[in-house]
Each structure stands twice: as structure tokens, then as C-alpha cells.
């Protein structure tokens, strides 16, 4: 082996071994210091005798390195390198979050509920308070949909709408789809969804459209004649007007119940009264062009939002535009669709096949 010409600064650890009465095991190899020549002190002395710079203790190791370096610079054997400031290590994210310096990136924003505390909260209202204060389904919808506690007459009206729209018999498209799916042996969720997927512009969605068109016509000051005729020119049927069964002399009981409740409890029913005026004009055209339950709910929900004084004009437009009223129909009709699913399962109905005689086969 060649001679080492570079200065060596070294220290053999383990000098504390002499403080122990028995042999001490060191390192990963499990070496033991037994005899005096195997001690750390002896090895340090041997290094020193061989010309290495050996400090008096481990604490002095840094000083020995510094002194050796400075001596080499002074002798001109090496040149001093300019010190540079190392880049600052970024602070640990978890620590920074805990200290409140930064906020962790989020992918979902929720403003209606929070389950991080001792109990879930709906729009800031603890679940226990909802139960203890006797809140109903309408109140829960008020908190989760509108992010505020609406007056009791408003939440009661919501509950009435849910009850009146829960089901409309087995023949409407949604119920029919659910029944067929349930009889095919599918599960509850599949049967429910098959019915819900039929809800749209022709089934259920008329509530949203009725509210939208009635509001636009009333706010623009259109007379019922101007409104209906302008819709006719556009080729658009007036949403909320017309029924397959009900007539001017055979009114829908649901519409009457909603109107009676509103007249008794609502501060204002200007939109509903406008819808009734439109109905008066359409009935002069045909006896089946009555205000239906979609039109009643749509116009009265406008009165609820405007009359409660808890919503700005912009908020009302947004609620109607987003489709809140259609959501109310979806929620209500889910009750009936679930009922039809259970009904078919309970009756153990076989796979449905449409009868041939009800199909017109043509070439």
C-alpha cells in the first residue's frame, strides 16, 4: 500500500467503554473491545503516532478539522473556496398547516354540511338541535338547499309539495320504468334510477319551466294574452298549463290545496294570481288548459322566495335557473318510485313483456 500524503483527521469512538465493567459491543459487525490494545484509546494513540491529527475528544473533532484546513491554506497547498449560502429547505407542509401559515389545497368545496366535529351540522346547525327543536323534512331541505332556516310556513309548503308529488299512479313514465325494471329482477337502486331518468322537460321538469316563464312574463309586465300569444308564436307550450284528465269544471284537488294554503299563509301570492289569470285566458281556448300542479308549484314557489324576504332577486333567478324546483319533484317522486319497487317485489311479479295487441306493427 502507498503512503498517505494527505493530512488525516481521525477519531475512533468508543472511549466510554472503560466506564463499563463488562465487554462492550460496538458497530453493526458486533465487534467487542476486550484487551487494552483493542480499546478506542489505544487506536486513537496509534493513529496519532502514525501522523494523523487526533483531537482530545469527539467534541474537539470539528476544531481539529478546521485547524488542519487553515494550515493547508496558509501553506498554500490548497485554496480557500468561497462560502455560499445553501438554499433554504422548504418548511414541512403538515407543520405549516398546523401553524396556520398555509392552507392545504382542496379539490371539493362544501358550504352546506360539515361532519368534522362531534356531530354533523347542516348549514351550521348541529344535528342534535335539528332533532331537539322538532325540525321536519322541509326544514332540513331549507338548510341543505337554501343554506338558511326558512319560516315554518315555507318549510310546511315544501313538505306539502313533496306529499302531493310523491306518486301519480303506475302509468306515468317514471313509475312504469321502475315497475318494469323491478320485475326484471333488478335491485332497488337500479329500479329507482330507471324511473328517475325519465324526469325531464316532459315529465316533472315543467315545474322549473313554469316558474321561469311565469316569472319572466310577470316581471316584464306582459298581460296573460300577450304572454300566451307570444309563447304560441314561438311554438312553445305554456308550462304548467294543461292536463290530460282535469278540466275547467273538474279542477285538480292538489292545485286547490296548494292555493288554499298559500292564500292562508303566504304574505304575497302575486305570481300565483298571475298564473290564474293566464289560466282564465287559456280556458277560453280549451277546457283542458287548466293550471296543473306543476304550474301551481312553480308559481307559488316564486311567491315563497319573493314573499319571505330572505332572497335577493339575483338569488331567486339563480335558484330557478339551477333547477331547484325540478329537484323538489325528483325528491318527492323518489318516494313513490321506491314504493312501486317494493310493491312489485312483494307481489313477486314476473318479468314484464308488453302485449302484442298494444303495438302497431307496420311495414
For residue 347, report the phi and psi dihedrals to the nearest 5 degrees.
-80, -5
Q: Is 340 a catalytic residue?
A: no
| Best CA proximity match to 179, nearest among 196, 195, 193 | 195
Q: What whole-number distance in Å separates Cα of residue 256 and Cα of residue 88?
A: 74
Report helix angle 152-165 to 253-265, nearest 10.
180
Give the C-alpha separation, 210 to 157, whole Å. 18
CA-to-CA dists, residue 90 to 87, 95, 210, angstroms:
9, 11, 57
- Beta strands 121-122 and 125-126 are antiparallel
E strand or H helix at 24, and its extent?
strand 24-26
**CA dihedral angle for residue 23, residue 25, residue 31, residue 33, rounded to 10 degrees:** -30
* Candidates 28, 263, 265, 354; catalytic one: 28
Q: Which residues pair with 114 in a beta bridge?
A: 121
Q: Give the list of residues 6+ apart from residue 128 with CB closer than 8 angstroms, or none.
A: 119
Three-state secondary-structure class, residue 102: coil
Q: What is the DSSP letter of 172?
A: S
- Write down how long the chain is: 363
Q: What is the CA radius of gyration of the chain?
A: 41
User: Which residues belong to the active site?
Assistant: 28
Amino acid at each position: 500500500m502507498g503512503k498517505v500524503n494527505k493530512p488525516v483527521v481521525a477519531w475512533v469512538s468508543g472511549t466510554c467503554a472503560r466506564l463499563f465493567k463488562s465487554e462492550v459491543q460496538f458497530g453493526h459487525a458486533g465487534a467487542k473491545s476486550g484487551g487494552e490494545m483493542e480499546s478506542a484509546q489505544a487506536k486513537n494513540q496509534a493513529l496519532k503516532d502514525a501522523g494523523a491529527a487526533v483531537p482530545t475528544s469527539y467534541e474537539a473533532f470539528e476544531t481539529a478539522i478546521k485547524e488542519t484546513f487553515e494550515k493547508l491554506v496558509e501553506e498554500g497547498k490548497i485554496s480557500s473556496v468561497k462560502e455560499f449560502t445553501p438554499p433554504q429547505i422548504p418548511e414541512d407542509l403538515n407543520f405549516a398547516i398546523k401553524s396556520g401559515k398555509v392552507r392545504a389545497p382542496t379539490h371539493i368545496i362544501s358550504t352546506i354540511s360539515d361532519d368534522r366535529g362531534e356531530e354533523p351540522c347542516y348549514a351550521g346547525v348541529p344535528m342534535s338541535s335539528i332533532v331537539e327543536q322538532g325540525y321536519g323534512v322541509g326544514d332540513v331541505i331549507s338548510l341543505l338547499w337554501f343554506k338558511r332556516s326558512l319560516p315554518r310556513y315555507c318549510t310546511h309548503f315544501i313538505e306539502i309539495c313533496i306529499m302531493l308529488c310523491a306518486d301519480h299512479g303506475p302509468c306515468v313514465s317514471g313509475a312504469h320504468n321502475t315497475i318494469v325494471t323491478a320485475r326484471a329482477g333488478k335491485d332497488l337502486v337500479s329500479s329507482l334510477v330507471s324511473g328517475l331518468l325519465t324526469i325531464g322537460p316532459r315529465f316533472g321538469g315543467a315545474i322549473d319551466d313554469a316558474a321561469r316563464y311565469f316569472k319572466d312574463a310577470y316581471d316584464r309586465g306582459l298581460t296573460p294574452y300577450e304572454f300566451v300569444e307570444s309563447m304560441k308564436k314561438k311554438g312553445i307550450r305554456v308550462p304548467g298549463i294543461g292536463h290530460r284528465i282535469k278540466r275547467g269544471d273538474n279542477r285538480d284537488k292538489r292545485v286547490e290545496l296548494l292555493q288554499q294554503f298559500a292564500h292562508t299563509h303566504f304574505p304575497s301570492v302575486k305570481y300565483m294570481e298571475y298564473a290564474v289569470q293566464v289560466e282564465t285566458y287559456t280556458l277560453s281556448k280549451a277546457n283542458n288548459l287548466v293550471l296543473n300542479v306543476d304550474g301551481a308549484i312553480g308559481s307559488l314557489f316564486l311567491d315563497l322566495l319573493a314573499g319571505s324576504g330572505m332572497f335577493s332577486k339575483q338569488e331567486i333567478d339563480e335558484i330557478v335557473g339551477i333547477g331547484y324546483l325540478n329537484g323538489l319533484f325528483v325528491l318527492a317522486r323518489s318516494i313513490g318510485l321506491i314504493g312501486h319497487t317494493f310493491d312489485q317485489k312483494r307481489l313477486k311479479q314476473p318479468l314484464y313483456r308488453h302485449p302484442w295487441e298494444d303495438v302497431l306493427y307496420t311495414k
